[in-house]
Amino acid sequence: MRGSEAMRQRAPLTSRVMPPLTSLDRAVARIVARWPDVVAVPEAKDREALAMEMLLRVTRWSWTDVKLSRVMSAAVAVFDADRRDRPDLAPVRAFYREETGLTDSPTFLKGMVEIYLESFDPGSPHTTMLADALSRRRSDFDRRSAALLEALPDLFAPARAPGAVAEVMLAAEDPYAALKALGFRSPHAMGLARCAHRDFLRLLAPKLRDADARRQLFAWLAPSRNSVLQAGAGLAVEALLRAWGDRMPPDEVRGEITEFVVSVYNDPRTHQGGIWSAFDATLKAIFLRWLTKQDMLFFCDMVTATQTSHMWAPRRNFWLGLYEDGRIDEAWVAFGSSARDYAQRNLLRSGATDINRRFGRQHDRGGSTSLLIMRIGNKIVVDGCHSYRTHIFRRDDPDAPALYGQHYYCDRIMRRSRNAKSHSSIPAWADWVTRNV
């Protein structure tokens, strides 16, 4: 007797009357929508015990008191990245292959399709084994698995399947939702979707200067606050930057990209881990330059909107001109309390952006003053709104304020400064800055 036969306990039919098929179809659709997962994914800590239990049952051919749901959960453990190539579990993998070929349980077949999607690795023997076994049973699939196969005829051709999934993603405004609708339980975590990610980027990359393509990529990377792609996300951000090369995007586009990336994957100036640990160094330097320009614009736009002094416009033009000349290497903003509120309401496009991580905070003078802190060569330059003077420190001066801090005190910076200039005469001030940096 096969294992699947021992696991099934069929209740005798009490009625020969068939319900109307339309009602049955609607009921099935409701069940699938509410409980889409056939396989309960076990916790990592439980997987080894499940795998060894299955090994014991297979070698002893003992199926007493075992439920199909436990057998399917064990399959997740047996075919995960830590165990799918282990020699001692070869009999268990053989069991799943043979049962896939022989079972008349739609639930078992559907579960093995999920295992195939979850554990997919085009170069792995287990993927070839499962693809071959499932391909032979395609006429026996339940409606949902059959629909998946109809949408992806190359599903069980491991060399072509990732490209086929990528084509589906490319055709969808929301690639993540499209894969969910096909039956991918968790697209970011499933092996086949992860493999398709690279092909999707390859197909989408030439279009990433277009707003629609960027929205498509953003929808895939971060469909919700609770579902953010991590594995392979660095490649996606690199593709986004590579699309522009050395060219600086328009301010609106650069702001859109930097705010999305920082809100989802953190600021590389303050976080070294995550996608930034192995990020392409040249592209990272480009992104840092974008952030420098963006922070300068944040500061300048805030001052422009909240001050009426005729002396501000030439100051703004001077700093932005210095940036365009390639003189400003880094910039960081420390907003006062009122300016932070304005920035949150009017400057940040992404509701997910954490303003406490995106900018520093300036505490002195009741938070009325905001600071722009810049590195120009070996100098640290601090400028402020209102009548706050410009202060210049040597970078190695222990009193120089560090960039990318969370808390700043403008009066403390002023007291420690030994080289400062007011803006009372813009030409004289601009000449002084130029000579001192």
Reported as half-sphere exposure (CB side, CA atoms, 13 A), residue 358 has a value of 28
Is 329 within the bounds of a domain? yes
Torsion sign over Cα 24, 27, 32, 35: negative
Q: In this structure, how many other beta carbons lie within 10 angstroms of the beta carbon of residue 424?
A: 10
Is 45 within the bounds of a domain? yes
Residue 204: the pLDDT is 97
**Residue 210 φ/ψ, nearest 5 degrees:** -90, 140
Helix or strand run (H / E) with residue 80: none
Is 191 within the bounds of a domain? no
Domain boundary residue, one of 115, 148, 181: 148
Q: Which amino acid is at 320?
A: L
Number of domains in the chain: 2
Is 200 within the bounds of a domain? no
State how far the Cα of 423 lies from the Cα of 103, in Å rounded to an integer. 83
Domain boundary residue, one of 109, 130, 148: 148
CA dihedral 294, 298, 303, 304 (to 10 degrees): 70
Is 414 within the bounds of a domain? yes
State how far the Cα of 347 lies from the Cα of 34, in Å rounded to an integer. 40
**Euclidean distance between the first and final Cα of the chain, in Å?**
85
Choose among 302, 306, 318: nearest CA to 423: 318
Residue 138: the pLDDT is 92
Torsion sign over Cα 101, 103, 104, 107: negative
**Paired tokens of 168:** 């589906």
Is 193 within the bounds of a domain? no
Residue 39: the pLDDT is 72
Domain boundary residue, one of 148, 168, 196: 148
Is 340 within the bounds of a domain? yes
Q: Which residues contact 253 (CB under 8 A, 6 or more apart)?
A: 211
**Residue 392 φ/ψ, nearest 5 degrees:** -125, 130
pTM of the shown model: 0.83
Distance of CA 76 to the CA centre of its chain: 24
Is 403 within the bounds of a domain? yes
pLDDT along the chain (437 residues), means of 10: 51 40 44 52 94 96 92 96 96 96 93 95 95 95 93 96 97 95 89 95 97 97 87 96 92 93 93 94 95 92 83 92 94 90 73 74 92 97 93 97 96 96 94 96
3-state helix, strand, coil in the chain (%, to 5): 55, 5, 35
The parent domain of residue 64 ranges over 1-9+22-148
- Cβ proximity of 176 and 187 under 8 Å: yes
Residue 16: the pLDDT is 38
